[in-house]
Chain A
């Protein structure tokens, strides 16, 4: 299920953690983006809206945008405004850049055209990052440093995953220069100091742009789920940087404690749906837990067909977002949430990732608990007793 270009742009831009996103839209688009972002971070409210109303639809929204910029400039103590324009101003033809140029502000302003009807969420994310890249500055390269590209601030487990991957890379002697897009403006501006860009699922256009503009090479890798996935991730980066791998072998002890359960789940038919992480999750489930992948779908695929395919399969666990609660409820199977949007579970503990070596443990624990604690597994069964 794809959220469209506006959501992709919003997710990319709100990842600059000291920026304010000014959405030039009617109230609903602004509300929707905030709702999905705030589930696991309620005080992080850094957005404002021009509140396009009927008047703006008839007479244009430029005056509202000008007012919003002037007021925001006074109210927010922040170095950057990102103006994201949605469907309505794109159709009525507001001259957004003209308005921005006409006001004097003591902040940087970047304008992103992200009308929802103009493309997918992925496209919105890619284009927004390239627009933001105009803020980047040429920097002296820091040896053995990388930027991790492809993150969003509202992804499930994002804080914990970034912490774990940073730990692993640091252990290998590699510095994480910037996490895009989950960083400060300063870190973003200095991103060209990295020796290598590591693209994890999305953000390829930014990596291409940085290669062209700043000569930073890039490497596309899988999102590091599982022990093998994590080892591949570290090895690929180390190989590229000619750095030694110092990470000890992953600790198998946690898996040993539940090895009989892992035996029982071997060969379990499961399905996976999600963003760019879905394929990498499926790889871990297949390769390391021994699950059989019945249906694998991306957000841009037809959701109705996905549901039909799952119904017609032997799926007993579904991996996806909160939107899959309906189909799992219908099929009476557990749902493991791992991909955006997750709005019915929170993740606030930074040491329980899904990525990396520690993530492999947490993820496996989550899967087992989802199965073992699944309340409805015997629903509909009648067990006859001697009396009855």
Chain B
């Protein structure tokens, strides 16, 4: 049934609402908002602290192990490591309380900590009765040279024991992210050139690799069965996205074996039964599975977003499984239904002119393409901000390449808007006068509402709906945006707008001590990269 956007004002003032669309939203948007509020208050804040430092590799390992039902991480190190790794950055909402440690002291540094580890493994088993104990060495046990793998082989406990190399000094470098950004920028123009290599692990990858190498067991491969790599149940909208993927897979005749590592130990052992692994992060573990158990894999690239991208993703999965044809038809049906639902909002958007303020990152061109081509927002100006890249210590050279390639991609796709790089407050104010709405997919009121009183529609949270491997998120986004446009904006004077922010490293305050600390981190971390690259011949 064709429904136009007839506005039904339920109540005056606050709470004006559009008529609900025909298909229930299944609470996807609420799911994302809940994750943003209850998890994001920690995670979003922690993200900003990456301007001053980096969490330990050990914390990535602790987090990944904590995703496995029935597993206990055991830290082989002093008490201080266990003390603060309980608060692993990706899971600050739910610290890891059960985190035993071997409590290495000066004596162990001299004589070795192997005996303590042996005893602790038995103790941990008797305290927790886990299905798996994951032993995570630290800087101290790594430097002392304890034979952790030897101890694990010797101990006899009625559960599995895993070794994960997690020494904190063996971490990724700044330059590696810089190089990867540069290669991604090249692949925007030609997705076949997407960089097929990994960033050095931050703990998560090491756990994944160890699971493949030490825990998984040979299985008979079951046709049309897939494993999905997760980045943990605390990822925004994880639950609802998984539900939609399973639904679409079900229509295609594909079953999900497990989400890795968010599953039980027994399920991990049976992971090689899957015909295909869907990789969302690094590929090293999947390569190892292919080599060891002959499971094929498909990496979820940045171009698998948007209506066409999502369709391509399911098409590529179907191709890998030999299900072309019938499976493609099922996906097309889902897509058609979603497009039908989105139509009413597209017609509403078509009445106005938009400017979009976005930040340059891996996915930016494809995100903008979704705004323009899927949601059919008549965008007049696209304002791209490179602050995030600066904040992540990406070099000026790489930023320049990224911006150039982004503009070329927009020209090739004939998106028809004017690109404005790093607009000043005055420029932004002028742009705002020439359009009906300014959307911002990052939290910008403190910068723009303060001086120019530019009213912006904040889509920083809802844009997560667009990064889903399904069609419903785009429809939900359209519905949300339509309701916001209809509701209109109140004139706000946020307290946080009254502070002075550093314009380059927003949202950091314009505070000399903060800026000096940021600069110190940038240069000290950068120095490691240069040395590392010189040694490996990459630079």
Contacts and interface: CB of A to CB of B under 8 A. Distances in A.
Given A53-B532, A55-B531, A323-B86, A117 B109 contact: yes
A48 interface: yes
A311 B170 CA distance: 40
B49 A116 contact: no
Interface string B80-100: 110111110000100101100
A26 B140 contact: no
Given A2-B79, A92-B143, A31 B55 contact: yes
B171 interface: yes
Contacts of B511: 43
A32 B84 contact: yes
Interface stretch (A4-12, A229-237, A255-263, A282-290): A4-12
Contacts of B168: 26-29
A103 to B, nearest CB: 15
B514 A43 contact: yes
B519 A53 contact: no
Given A48-B521, A49-B521, A26 B81 contact: no
Contact of B528 (A38, A46, A53): A53
Contacts of A2: 79, 83
How large, as a class, is the contact surface on chain A? Answer: 35 or more
B49 A88 contact: no
Contact of B53 (A30, A42, A54, A56): A30
B491 interface: no
Contact of A6 (B56, B80, B97): B80
B16 to A, nearest CB: 32
A3 B49 contact: no
A46 B517 contact: yes
Nearest to B499: A43
B174 to A, nearest CB: 9
Interface in A299-331: 304, 322-323, 325-327
Among A4, A5, A343, the one with the most B-chain Cβ atoms within 10 Å of its Cβ is A4
Contact of B171 (A1, A26, A327): A26
Interface string B492-532: 00000000000000000101111011111101110110011
Interface in A22-50: 26-36, 38, 42-50
A29 B80 contact: yes
Contact of A116 (B81, B95, B144, B520): B81
Contacts of A71: 520, 523-524
A2 B105 CA distance: 13
Nearest to A7: B80
Contacts of A27: 53-56, 168, 171, 525
Contacts of A72: 516, 520
B45 interface: yes
Among A35, A47, A64, the one with the most B-chain Cβ atoms within 10 Å of its Cβ is A35
A87 interface: yes
Contact of A51 (B106, B516, B525): B525
Contacts of A29: 56, 80, 168
A188 B515 CA distance: 26
Contacts of A343: 87, 92, 95
B301 interface: no
A117 B104 contact: yes
Among A30, A45, A46, A72, the one with the most B-chain Cβ atoms within 10 Å of its Cβ is A45
B169 A26 contact: yes
Contact of A54 (B83, B138, B170, B520): B170
A77 B511 CA distance: 12
Interface in A76-127: 76-78, 87-88, 91-92, 116-118
Nearest to B58: A28
Contacts of B85: 28, 32
A52 interface: yes
A31 B516 CA distance: 16
A118 B108 CA distance: 10
Nearest to B203: A28
B5 to A, nearest CB: 40
A262 to B, nearest CB: 32
Interface in B86-143: 86-87, 92, 95, 97-98, 104-106, 108-109, 127, 138-140, 143
A91 B109 contact: yes
Contacts of B52: 34, 45, 47
Contacts of A4: 78-80, 83
A141 B97 CA distance: 48
A116 B104 CA distance: 9
Interface in B467-509: 509
A87 B520 contact: no
Contacts of B525: 27, 51
A372 interface: no
Among B56, B58, B173, the one with the most A-chain Cβ atoms within 10 Å of its Cβ is B56
A67 interface: yes
Contacts of B531: 53, 55
Contact of B127 (A7, A52, A88, A304): A304
Contacts of B519: 75
Contact of A75 (B104, B509, B520, B527): B520
10 contacts: A4-B80, A31-B53, A32-B56, A32-B83, A35-B49, A45-B52, A51-B521, A76-B513, A88-B169, A325-B97
Given A29-B56, A35-B84, A117-B80, 9 more contacts: A29-B168, A32-B55, A51-B528, A64-B524, A72-B520, A75-B519, A76-B516, A88-B139, A323-B86
The 6 closest A-B pairs by CB, nearest first: A28-B56, A4-B80, A32-B84, A116-B80, A326-B97, A48-B520
